[in-house]
């Protein structure tokens, strides 16, 4: 699968100030480190970038391209900044993202067409967050239809069903898995992508990787194509590279209804098993879910 490193983002305590001061060093160090960790793309998240977003995006893209050839995911809601990034990106970039809000769609699709870029179709509707798997399906069909009308082929479309934090809405966590199982039928040849770390927003930092990794393995059961991830989570990288097949089997068997005896599992397997129970809604989320 394709991994997109999430780490260059304006919310980061080192990257935010570096963007502001146009200080290349922290940005380039992180870009190099993410590339070495083995991600396929680098997400460059400059946020809404309301003031001079085009200058910022141009600077970030050029700064990163000085140290790596990895393709870039241009992460901003500002269409002027997006176009500035598309102009300077060297390998085929990924527009992150275009939602179904009429103005976003109206400005985004022509950009994707003009620059022959891949694009993330964020399934955020005119009325906001989709409520269930069916609303996601409706949005996906609608998006693909409008993109095709513009001459954009399904192969260029990466569908993002929007991951919600498990500490906020377990029904949304379940609905996304349900949608993933439907996607290949609804939008053949389209790709899928998720912002994985959203699942653990609001969770204590040292526990976040368990939620991230387990949810990723759950989505892999339905052929997830790509994810925006923490490039420095080594165990996550190992799972994706097939280096932990026993964990993948355990998670998938539990999704099929098997209830393993925790006493028969290793300490690591117990953590994954408890996390599957939370992410399927079988146990209630609390910050101490791994201890009970």
Residue number with the shortest CB distance to ligand THG?
A: 195
Q: How far is the CB of 237 from ligand THG (least distance, A)?
A: 16
Q: Do residues 283 and 274 make contact, with C-beta atoms less than 8 angstroms apart? A: yes
Provide the sign of the torsion angle of the four alpha carbons 244, 7, 27, 59, taken in this order.
positive
Tokens, residue 60: 């970030």
In this complex, which beta carbon is closest to ligand THG, that of residue 63 or of residue 192?
192
Q: How far is the CB of 115 from ligand THG (least distance, A)?
A: 18
In this complex, which beta carbon is closest to ligand THG, that of residue 118 or of residue 277?
118
Provide the sign of the torsion angle of the four alpha carbons 1, 223, 162, 284, taken in this order.
negative
Cα 195 to Cα 162: distance, rounded to the nearest angstrom = 7
Q: How far is the CB of 106 from ligand THG (least distance, A)?
A: 19
In this complex, which beta carbon is closest to ligand THG, that of residue 27 or of residue 250?
27
The contacts of residue 163 (CB under 8 Å, 6+ apart) are: 173, 176, 194, 195, 196, 198, 199, 215
Q: How far is the CB of 208 from ligand THG (least distance, A)?
A: 7
Q: How far is the CB of 90 from ligand THG (least distance, A)?
A: 21
In this complex, which beta carbon is closest to ligand THG, that of residue 217 or of residue 231?
231
Chain residues in the site for ligand THG (CB under 6 A):
6-7, 9, 11-13, 45, 75, 96-97, 120, 122, 160, 162-163, 195, 197-198, 228
Cα 55 to Cα 85: distance, rounded to the nearest angstrom = 9
* Radius of gyration over every alpha carbon of the chain, rounded to an integer in angstroms: 19
In this complex, which beta carbon is closest to ligand THG, that of residue 122 or of residue 273?
122
């Amino acid at each position: 699968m394709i991994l997109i490193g999430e780490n260059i983002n304006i919310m980061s305590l080192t990257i935010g100030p570096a963007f502001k001061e146009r200080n290349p060093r922290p940005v380039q160090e992180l870009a190099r480190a993410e590339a070495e960790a083995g991600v396929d793309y680098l997400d460059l998240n400059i946020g809404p970038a309301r003031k001079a977003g085009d200058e910022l995006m141009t600077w970030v893209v050029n700064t990163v391209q000085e140290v790596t050839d990895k393709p870039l995911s241009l992460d901003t809601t500002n269409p002027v900044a997006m176009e500035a990034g598309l102009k300077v990106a060297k390998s085929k970039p990924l527009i992150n993202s275009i939602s179904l809000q009429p103005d976003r769609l109206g400005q985004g699709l022509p950009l994707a067409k003009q620059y022959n870029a891949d694009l993330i179709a964020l399934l955020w509707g005119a009325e906001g967050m989709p409520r269930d798997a069916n609303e996601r399906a409706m949005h996906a069909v609608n998006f693909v239809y409008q993109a095709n009308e513009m001459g954009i082929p399904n192969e260029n479309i990466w569908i993002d069903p929007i991951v919600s934090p498990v500490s906020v809405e377990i029904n949304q966590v379940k609905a996304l898995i349900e949608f993933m199982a439907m996607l290949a039928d609804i939008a053949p040849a389209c790709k899928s992508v998720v912002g994985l770390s959203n699942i653990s927003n609001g969770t204590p930092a040292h526990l976040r990787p368990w939620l991230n990794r387990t949810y990723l393995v759950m989505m892999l059961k339905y052929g997830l194509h790509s994810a925006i991830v923490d490039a420095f989570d080594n165990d996550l990288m190992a799972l994706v590279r097939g280096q932990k097949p026993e964990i993948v089997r355990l998670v998938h068997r539990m999704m099929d209804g098997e209830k393993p005896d925790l006493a028969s599992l290793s300490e690591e397997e117990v953590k994954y098993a408890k996390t599957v129970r939370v992410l399927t809604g079988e146990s209630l989320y609390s910050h101490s879910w791994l201890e009970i």
